[in-house]
Amino acid sequence: MRVRRVAPADGLVERVRTAHFDRPGNRWRMTLTAEQIDSVAYAFHLRALSGSVAEANWLARDYGVTYRVDPSTGRAGAVRPPSRTASL
């Protein structure tokens, strides 16, 4: 199996460096673009491959973004469910 190297989305490193800790929420906070969220989903996907799915599940539950392998092509990519308002 060939490993594909993927660089983080543009600006993600700077966003991570400027994240701030929200004491009442007891979590780190940062504002990300859709492309940066996809990059984070990819990182959590790689982490899930090594056995820890907690972060990937959290991202899917809270933000609706998962990283899945398309069985027809064998390629992985970020997946977002259709917008709730699109079905109205």
76: in domain: yes
- DSSP structure string for 21-49: EETTTTEEE----HHHHHHHHHHHHHHHH
Total domains present in the chain: 1
Question: Would residue 39 count as lying in a domain?
Answer: yes
Residues spanned by the domain of 41: 35-80
Q: Report the pLDDT value the prediction gives residue 86, as an integer from 0 to 100.
A: 36
| Range name among 8-17, 57-66, 78-87 with the lowest pLDDT average | 78-87
Q: H/E element holding 12?
A: helix 12-17
Any domain includes 22: no
Inside any domain, residue 3: no
Q: Is the pLDDT of residue 88 over 80?
A: no
CA–CA separation, 72 and 79 (whole Å) = 15
Q: pLDDT per residue over 4-52, tens digit each?
A: 677 889 999 999 999 999 999 998 899 999 899 989 998 998 889 888 8
Task: For the full predicted model, state whether its pTM sits above 0.85.
Answer: no
* Cβ-proximal residues to 40 (8 Å cutoff; 6+ apart), any chain: 12, 32, 59
CB 59 within 8 A of CB 65: yes
